[in-house]
Structure formats: C-alpha cells, structure tokens
Structure 1
Amino acid sequence: MAYPIAYQLYSSRNFPPLFDQFPKLKAMGYDGIEPWLPAYEKNPSEFRRALDDAGLKCFGFHMPLAGLVNEPQRYIEIAQTLGATYLIPPYVAAEERRPTAQYWRELGEKLATGAEAAAKHGLAVAWHNHDFEFVPLDDGTRPIDHIFEAGGEGVKFEIDCGWIVRAGADPAAELKRFADRIVAIQTKDTAPLGTKDDDGWRATGDGIIDWAALVPLFRQTKADHIVTEHDNPSDWSQFASRSIAHIKALGL
C-alpha cells in the first residue's frame, strides 16, 4: 500500500507566499498539506479553495490545545471546512509544563474531552509529540504514557520520529508501543546531535534515522498517511523534494 503523503506547511513558514507553493508540492507528488496555526485561521474557506485549486487534500491540521479545550466547536467547523479528519494539538509551551504525572494525565483528559466532541462529527483528535514527552519524570515515568493512558482509546497519535530520536528514545520501540493509536507518521529526520545548520534537521533520508528499518513497523500501525516536516530548512523546496523522493523509494 502506498500511503498518501502530506507536507507540514510549518516547514515553509519563512518562505511566503505559501499558496504559491501548493502547485509545486503537487507536482513533486504530494497528496496533501498539513497546515499549522495561523496559516488557515484568517480564512479557512480561502485555504480550502487554494488546496482544491492545487488538487491537494488536508488530512489533519495542527491547532492549539487551548483551542480544543475552550473552542472545540470552532475547530470542528474548521476541520469540516478544510475537509480534515484529524485535529492535532502539537505542543505545550515550556512555561506551562509541570514535571508531575498528574499534569500530564490532566492533559490526556483534556484531549479525551475534545476527542469525544470531535467523534460526534466523524472527526478525531491526535496528539503530536516533541521531545519532552519522552523524557522521564523524577519518578521514572514518561509524560507520553500518562497522556495516552488518561486519554483513553479515543485519543490518537501523530508520531514525530525525529523528535523521539532527539529525546534519546527509540522510534522503533514507540511505533510498536503505540501501533494501535498511530494515525499519522511524521518522517522528520535529524542530523547527529549537536549539528547547528538548519537547526540540525534534515530532509527525510539525509539524516541518521534508518527509515528502511522502520517501514515494516509503519505498516503495523493504523496510520493512514505520512507527513514530511523540517522545523527550519534553508531551502524548503529542496527539503520537500528530497523527502518525498526518499519516501517513495522506500515503497511507502
């Protein structure tokens, strides 16, 4: 099975105008765009038209956790406008985090409440990880496990393999652990730790992650699409084209 492949638009935030990139991404072979806030916020209908004009889809979009908690209906309506299935909170700022199991369990419960509201409309909520969720707390437990245990089966997972490596964890182990929860896979790649250029990120296949070894594990998850992302590329087009070429060469 060939997975649909989306491009995380955050990768291009420093290279406007963003809509001009859509036809180029389609020509590279991308099937969709995964937008981040605020790219779609001002006018979701206009964003949808730009996608439609380029022949691209939106499988899911990144959104603030606070939006899911305080304005769930607003973001459900945005999902419906964009044609997206997944509402994806991706982050909590460092100043908001607390080093306790209770804090992370409460976060999971917030996701579960949002997921319940989304499910009534045929939508789903998926958490997107960074590195901090895989760093053990003082008691040896991990935030990521508390999030999903408290969130229950209704909270899905967009797994970011690059951030897992940055955290010192093993993406193969996490793909296995959360296989039944993973609905999207970000093939973010990283250079050896300590690399400074492009903040140490790389196009998929140009870094240190052994993607060929992970492909069989991808297929054991419930992922229905793949997403490329680079947090700070010096050349968005080169990143986008090299990444999708490597993914397709892997038979994904």
Structure 2
Amino acid sequence: MIKRREFLINTGLALGALAIAPSFAFESKKRAIGIQLWTLRDTLPKDVKGVLAQVGKAGFSEVETFGYSVEKGFFGTSLHDFKSMLSDNGLKATSNHFDFNSMIKDGSTDLLKSYVEAANHLGSEYITVPYVIAELRGKSGDDYKKLALQINKFGELCKAGGLKLAYHNHDFEFTKFGSTNGYEILLNETDKKLVDFEMDLYWVIRSGNDPLQLFKKYPGRFKMWHVKDMDKVNPDWNAEIGTGKIDFKSIFAEAKLSGMKRFFLEHESNYKPNPIESAIKSFNYIKKNLI
C-alpha cells in the first residue's frame, strides 16, 4: 500500500512537472476542427437550420461565417436565431468573414461598428477581412502600405470592441513589387497587437510560395488557417483533404511556430455533388492524421 507521505510527494512532483512545463500539457489537448461555412454555400442559404444541424452532427464544433447582412442577418435568419441554431448543434462561430470592401473604398467605419455588435452577439473572437475586390487591390507597394494603414484602423476598432481582426489571403496578395510582395507588405506594415493573419494554405501554395518559410520569417502571425487541399491534376481545383497534393502533416507539425490557435476546413471549388459528405471525409482525415 502506498503510504500517505509517498503519495503526497509523488503528487507534488507531478504537479510541479506540470507547473514547469505547462506547454506540454496544453499541446496534448486536441484542437477543435472548424469549418468555413462557404463550403456549404449552395445549401446553407436555402436551409440554415437544417445545414447547421448537419454540421454539428458531422462532429464540427466551430464555424466561420460568411454572408452576413446588417438588414437580413444570415440569409434571412436573425442574429438571435442564428446563434440559437449554432448552440443547439454544439457549434460556436469563433470567426466571421464580413465584407470590408465598401469601407476600404470610402474610408468609413460605420459598418464595422455593426460587425462588432454582431460578432459579440455570437460570442466570436475574430472579425476577418475575407477578400479585397479587384478594383481595390493594390497596384503598387505604396497601395498595399495604404491598405495596411486602413487595416490597422479596423484593428483598433475591433480591439476597442473586445475582438480581434484577421486578414485572409488569396493569391493576388503575392504579386511582386521589387524584392517584396503585397502579402509581406501587409505583414510588415500592420501592427502585431491589432492584426492577425488567417493563412489560406491552399492559396499560399497555389501562388508558388511556401507556408513553412512564411512561418519562419513571421513566427506567431498566423493565428488561424484555412485548410483545403489541391487537386493532383488541376491545381485550380480543391480536393478532399488528404487526397490532393498538399503535405499537411509537415505544415501541422509547425503549428506552434505559425502561432495557429484554430483552423477551418474549407472546400472552395470542385467539391463533390454532396458537399456535406465531402466535408465529412476531409474532417475524418484531419481528425485521424493531423491533430
């Protein structure tokens, strides 16, 4: 029988080990698997309640939203009802893709105030800049520096509202300007305390760049990821995760260097006829092989 003194000593040693190595205890906890709801864009607007039930049943615990309108909510579903539907299915909207193009164009921030209210109502952590339309994209390095100033301003307002701002990339940000590119300008010119980055792994690789090199050059900046695979035949198409060309195991191995805290599975193009079934296949691969 273990004596009480020995038990207390052993327990104390174990607790001490956890105290000096908290990161090890944290790393042992598996991350949640999220889904960017754009994956289900063909079905979600027609049946918000039913599709969110499918997402919860599939095993997802986090979602990233799209399609919000101040007037119409999410596809005609009010913020209150949308949050209730999420909660009923064990889901939380931790990030939201809101349209920033009008604010980038005219410099106004009135719409952002509504976004902050919506995100806080949902209990979110992030508001994310998802896509800059062609007419507003930088045509020079100076244009990207001006965009970075606007993004910093957006970040200040999000911080004041208790939220974080993130920037999501495609491939056009990697347009070269001398020895740099638009993406690096945004990384260098935005304030680390105000702006995080949601790295879309597919688009980084599609542009001919290496996520791992970006992790090394800008450690800790990429707090969120979009995880989608690249078709082995046609790189313009996505593939179910684990069936394409991207080596996700090497990327996930450097999650800590990246700063990644959460990620969202996404199928943007060429998914199978049944998008939820295709998403489930990607979910299962991630759960079995990557986290």
- What's the TM-score, normalizing by structure 1? 0.91
Mapping of 1:144-223 within 5 angstroms? 144-153=183-192, 154-192=194-232, 194=234, 200-223=237-260
User: Secondary structure at 2:144's aligned position in 1?
Assistant: helix
Query: Any unmatched runs of 5+ in structure 2?
Result: 1-28
Residue 74 of structure 2 corresponds to residue 40 of structure 1 = yes
Q: Hey, what does 1:247 align to over in structure 2? A: 286
Residue 169 of structure 2 corresponds to residue 141 of structure 1 = no
Deviations 1:184-222 (A, max 9, x none): 111111113635xxx511121121001111111113232
Contact 1:59 1:86 in 2 (8 A): yes
In the TM superposition, what is the alpha-carbon distance from 1:169 to its structure 2 partner? 0.9
In 2, the alpha carbon distance for the partners of 1:225 and 1:98 equals: 29
Q: Hey, what does 2:123 align to over in structure 1? A: 83
Contact 2:249 2:290 in 1 (8 A): no
In the TM superposition, what is the alpha-carbon distance from 1:122 to its structure 2 partner? 2.0
Q: Hey, what does 1:49 align to over in structure 2? A: 84
- What's the TM-score, normalizing by structure 2? 0.80
In the TM superposition, what is the alpha-carbon distance from 1:178 to its structure 2 partner? 3.2
In the TM superposition, what is the alpha-carbon distance from 1:140 to its structure 2 partner? 3.3
User: Secondary structure at 1:103's aligned position in 2?
Assistant: helix
Pick which of 170-179 and 79-88 moved more.
Answer: 170-179
In 2, the alpha carbon distance for the partners of 1:28 and 1:211 equals: 21
In the TM superposition, what is the alpha-carbon distance from 1:66 to its structure 2 partner? 3.5
In the TM superposition, what is the alpha-carbon distance from 1:114 to its structure 2 partner? 1.1
Query: Any unmatched runs of 5+ in structure 1?
Result: none
Contact 1:110 1:151 in 2 (8 A): no
In 1, the alpha carbon distance for the partners of 2:215 and 2:74 equals: 30
In 1, the alpha carbon distance for the partners of 2:145 and 2:279 equals: 36
Q: Hey, what does 1:24 align to over in structure 2? A: 54
Q: Give the % identical residues.
A: 25
Residue 37 of structure 2 corresponds to residue 9 of structure 1 = yes
Pick which of 68-77 and 29-38 moved more.
Answer: 68-77
Larger Rg computed on CA atoms: 2
User: Secondary structure at 1:223's aligned position in 2?
Assistant: coil
In the TM superposition, what is the alpha-carbon distance from 1:67 to its structure 2 partner? 6.1
User: Secondary structure at 1:60's aligned position in 2?
Assistant: strand
User: Secondary structure at 1:87's aligned position in 2?
Assistant: strand
- Count of residue pairs the alignment pairs up: 248
Instruction: Output the amino acid matched with 1:213.
Output: S
Contact 2:101 2:132 in 1 (8 A): no
Contact 1:4 1:224 in 2 (8 A): no
Pick which of 19-28 and 204-213 moved more.
Answer: 19-28
User: Secondary structure at 1:95's aligned position in 2?
Assistant: helix
User: Secondary structure at 2:245's aligned position in 1?
Assistant: coil
Pick which of 224-233 and 172-181 moved more.
Answer: 172-181
User: Secondary structure at 1:185's aligned position in 2?
Assistant: strand
In 2, the alpha carbon distance for the partners of 1:251 and 1:166 equals: 21
In the TM superposition, what is the alpha-carbon distance from 1:22 to its structure 2 partner? 1.7
* RMSD, aligned α-carbons: 1.9
Q: Hey, what does 1:73 align to over in structure 2? A: 113
In 1, the alpha carbon distance for the partners of 2:243 and 2:211 equals: 17
Instruction: Output the amino acid matched with 2:259.
Output: K
Instruction: Output the amino acid matched with 2:62.
Output: G
User: Secondary structure at 2:241's aligned position in 1?
Assistant: coil
Instruction: Output the amino acid matched with 1:171.
Output: P
User: Secondary structure at 1:133's aligned position in 2?
Assistant: helix
Instruction: Output the amino acid matched with 1:210.
Output: D
In the TM superposition, what is the alpha-carbon distance from 1:251 to its structure 2 partner? 4.3
CA distance 1:37–1:176, shift in 2 (3 Å): farther
In 2, the alpha carbon distance for the partners of 1:101 and 1:231 equals: 28
